[in-house]
Amino acid sequence: MATQLSTPETAASSDAIRHPLEPLTAEEIAAAVALIRASGRLGARTRFASITLHEPSKERVLHYQPGDPIAREAFIVILDNDANAVFEIVVSITGGDILSWCHIPGVQPHIMYDEFVECEVACKADPAFRAALAKRGVTNMDLVMVEPWSAGEYGDAEERGVRLTRALMFVRAEPNDNGYARPVEGLVAVVDLNAMRIVRLEDASVVPLPPEAGNYAAEYIPAMRTDRKPIAITQPEGTSFSVDGHAVTWQKWHFRIGFTPREGLVLHTIGYEDGGRIRPVIYRAALSEMVVPYGDPSPSHNRKNAFDVGEYGIGLMANALELGCDCLGEIRYFDAFLNDSRGEVVRYPNAVCMHEEDTGILWKHYDWRTNHTEVRRARRLVVSFIATVGNYEYGFYWYLYQDGAIGYEVKLTGIINTGALPPGETRKYGTMVAPQLYAPNHQHFFNVRLDMMVDGPTNSVYEVHTVAEPPGPENPHGNAFFAESTLLKTEQEARQLVDPLNARYWKIVNPSVRNGLGQPVAYKLAPGENTRSFVAADSFVRQRAGFMGNHLWVTPYDPAEQYAAGDYPNQHPGGAGLPAYTAANRSIENSDLVVWYTMGHHHLPRPEDWPVMPASTISFMLKPLGFFDRNPTLDVPPEMAHGACCHE
Ligand code: CO
């Protein structure tokens, strides 16, 4: 995982910053913290929740010319543990000033990694906690894993305003053992993270620990398969991309890489070069929120619904990616510089991986009359990071394709969350994966915020579905069907669900730019796998994760609207984010707009998901739709001399 630095290793001063969207350097983070400390306004027990580049305005970024002076600002969220108070601070790093310092009442920032560690220590030191585990035959605290799940908000007045976590426990059989094989069912430690002590032990029932180990590490596997020969990906002349700071060009794509503690990977100013100019497609793209509601009503599981972006900070949980394992081929890595809760700079080596992949054929045709074949190989540029959130791993992948398409894919792996059952019992709300061990049903909803700028800043969004023409004089054989487009004029019209049986997609159109055929240029948002939420409409989790209620949301651009479940989802009572943003039903027609896409992965666990889950994927695509006049990849050269790979 991350390494903490006492002195930043690869710091660059702001003088070396060559673009306003370069992520904060280690030195800049340290400078921002120093400014805040020097103010004398910090309480004795204050945590730095996040330190992020305070992004300059769109105007500034889009009009930036190399050599222009760059004002660097940081946006910092701090939590005063003694006062249970949250402050948002903006500092000018280049100016050496604090620009604003605002108390934000009634909110809780994400749970910080340091709090995970301290919470585990505090629980293990608590006599009642030890007694509850002893009752279950667990006495060696070194083997107990305490997992602080976010507490949510369940209308309990006593809990309101207290910084809480609901810790679940697992027990390892030995130090390297997979502890998720032995959940401590029926026991929840409710911990006040400001006071760092247990305020309530919920002890519903004593269920024996499941008997079998669930180990997957190589050291536990007695015989590995021996029939696998090496696959080597080589690029003898190097990669086809070039990198300047965090600016990337590859084939005709131009974009910038960013990384924030909350969102992880961010792509900025994505454009495609066409006819000698870069045509913009997206201004900013990032995962804005996710939520994993569990579908089991039993005491240990009925409040499990992690918002892994807003409640934990998915970027803070980024892995250090390793060559040949997480990514294959010629890799370009990017480190991330984030912070711990003490305000120290933390370097995440190789947090982001970028590489090219061969993806089969781009296009092909064989003319049987001339016996001539034209075929092109496709490749894509992959920019990714992987985060470990307790038991689960999420890999987040942006794909840029040669034909102007953009893909986004999440890979879900790691270890499913588990529960224990008495011998002989099964569970309606989950799947048995080992003796006395089950995995509760759950879903994973991801919301991706796409600040679109298809060929310019003002766009409109249309819903498109396909209609079967009724048989009649115009359709004598009943074979006709056609696409019907409807302009989505307001935010509420743009609250939409997927509709695969009617082939629904949405298109983001620039009404003021026409292609060579006279059509307005556009990109289509093509949904992939998706589903609906199964929680009750008036349930607490549904109120808090309102973004699950629709797959498409569109808002007019407002830099204050960044997160699908609002700025502070941790312990939030609900209604924030997209439901609140869209409540005023603003116009979204021919304007600077933001598209928010929610996709739900339905996870009814399989026995094969245990003890470690083969990666499952969920994705969507953005494809050019009349953005070009024709297939833009005719200029992709054949791999070898004309036809040689097809005519033996
Ligand atoms: Co799952």
Predicted confidence (pLDDT) per residue in 201-248, tens digit = 999 999 999 999 999 999 999 999 999 999 888 999 999 999 999 999
Q: Which CATH architecture has domain 113-220?
A: Roll (3.10)
- Strand partners for 552: 496, 597
Report the alpha-carbon distance of residue 365 to residue 354 in Å, rounded: 31
CA neighbor of 550 nearest in space, from 538, 574, 533:
533
CA neighbor of 10 nearest in space, from 336, 342, 242, 339:
336
Report the alpha-carbon distance of residue 386 to residue 397 in Å, rounded: 9
Bond prior to 299 in cis (omega within 30° of 0): no
- DSSP string covering 251-270, please? TTEEEEEEEETTTEEEEEEE
CA neighbor of 564 nearest in space, from 127, 573, 457, 552:
552
Report, in this order, helix, strand and coil percent for the chain, each rounded to 5. Answer: 10, 45, 45
pLDDT (mean) for 607-629: 98
Residues designated catalytic:
308, 392
* Element housing 351 (H / E): strand 345-367
Residue 339 Cα, ligand 1 centroid: separation in angstroms? 29
Residue 351 Cα, ligand 1 centroid: separation in angstroms? 23
Residue 626 Cα, ligand 1 centroid: separation in angstroms? 37
In this predicted structure, what is the pLDDT of residue 645? 54
Residue 414 Cα, ligand 1 centroid: separation in angstroms? 9
Report the alpha-carbon distance of residue 607 to residue 329 in Å, rounded: 33
Report the alpha-carbon distance of residue 405 to residue 401 in Å, rounded: 5
* Element housing 556 (H / E): strand 552-556
- Strand partners for 104: 86
Residue 526 Cα, ligand 1 centroid: separation in angstroms? 23
Q: Boundaries of CATH 2.70.98.20 in the chain?
A: 242-645
Tokens of 50: 């996040």
Are 564 and 291 a contacting pair, CB within 8 Å? no
Tokens of 155: 């209308």
Residue 306 Cα, ligand 1 centroid: separation in angstroms? 12
Residue 141 Cα, ligand 1 centroid: separation in angstroms? 28
Residue 591 Cα, ligand 1 centroid: separation in angstroms? 37
pLDDT in tens, 416-460: 999 999 999 999 999 999 999 999 999 999 999 999 999 999 999
Q: Boundaries of CATH 3.10.450.40 in the chain?
A: 3-104, 113-220
pLDDT in tens, 318-347: 998 876 678 888 999 999 999 999 999 999
Phi-psi region of 360 (alpha: psi -120 to 50; beta: other; left: phi over 0): left
Residue 442 Cα, ligand 1 centroid: separation in angstroms? 6
- Strand partners for 607: none
Report the alpha-carbon distance of residue 384 to residue 333 in Å, rounded: 10
Residue 416 Cα, ligand 1 centroid: separation in angstroms? 6
Residue 60 Cα, ligand 1 centroid: separation in angstroms? 41
Report the alpha-carbon distance of residue 513 to residue 148 in Å, rounded: 51
Residue 326 Cα, ligand 1 centroid: separation in angstroms? 20
In this predicted structure, what is the pLDDT of residue 8? 37
In this predicted structure, what is the pLDDT of residue 551? 98
In this predicted structure, what is the pLDDT of residue 10? 39
Percent of the chain with pLDDT over 70: 96
Residue 318 Cα, ligand 1 centroid: separation in angstroms? 18
Are 522 and 625 a contacting pair, CB within 8 Å? yes
Residue that has been written with the tokens 């050291």 in this structure = 219
Residue 420 Cα, ligand 1 centroid: separation in angstroms? 17
* Element housing 544 (H / E): helix 540-544
CB atoms within 10 A of CB 26: 21
Burial letters 105-125, b for 16+ CB under 10 A, else e: eebbbbbbbebbebbbebbee
Residue 527 has pLDDT above 70, yes or no: yes
Report the alpha-carbon distance of residue 403 to residue 10 in Å, rounded: 36
Report the alpha-carbon distance of residue 385 to residue 352 in Å, rounded: 5
Residue 371 has pLDDT above 50, yes or no: yes
In this predicted structure, what is the pLDDT of residue 435? 98
Pairing of strands 46-53, 73-80: antiparallel
CA neighbor of 557 nearest in space, from 587, 526, 580, 524:
587
- The 8 Å CB, 24+ separation contacts for 80-88 are 80/42, 80/43, 80/45, 80/46, 81/43, 81/45, 81/46, 81/47, 81/163, 81/193, 81/194, 82/43, 82/44, 82/45, 82/194, 83/43, 84/161, 84/162, 84/163, 84/194, 86/49, 86/568
| 3-104: CATH number | 3.10.450.40
Q: Look up residue 316 and give its DSSP letter.
A: G
Residue that has been written with the tokens 């699908």 in this structure = 564
Residue 297 Cα, ligand 1 centroid: separation in angstroms? 17
Tokens of 228: 């696998």
Residue 13 has pLDDT above 90, yes or no: no
Residue 642 has pLDDT above 70, yes or no: no
Residue 198 Cα, ligand 1 centroid: separation in angstroms? 29
In this predicted structure, what is the pLDDT of residue 15? 66
At 401 the three-state DSSP class reads: strand
Residue 16 has pLDDT above 90, yes or no: no
Tokens of 295: 């579908």
CA neighbor of 120 nearest in space, from 216, 191, 37:
191
In this predicted structure, what is the pLDDT of residue 640? 72
Residue 506 Cα, ligand 1 centroid: separation in angstroms? 27
Report the alpha-carbon distance of residue 32 to residue 51 in Å, rounded: 8
Report the alpha-carbon distance of residue 181 to residue 72 in Å, rounded: 48
Residue 408 Cα, ligand 1 centroid: separation in angstroms? 18
Residue 646 Cα, ligand 1 centroid: separation in angstroms? 43
CA neighbor of 261 nearest in space, from 327, 333, 348:
348
Q: Which superfamily is assigned to 242-645 in CATH?
A: Copper amine oxidase, catalytic domain (2.70.98.20)
Residue 393 Cα, ligand 1 centroid: separation in angstroms? 10
Most confident range (mean pLDDT) of 157-166, 317-326, 634-643 is 157-166
Report the alpha-carbon distance of residue 125 to residue 131 in Å, rounded: 11
Residue 443 Cα, ligand 1 centroid: separation in angstroms? 6
pLDDT in tens, 55-114: 999 999 999 999 999 999 999 999 999 999 999 999 999 999 999 999 999 999 999 999
Residue 398 Cα, ligand 1 centroid: separation in angstroms? 21
Q: Which regions of 19-127 does DSSP assign to beta strands (E)?
A: 46-53, 73-80, 85-92, 97-104
pLDDT in tens, 581-610: 999 999 999 999 999 999 999 999 999 999
Percent of the chain with pLDDT over 90: 93
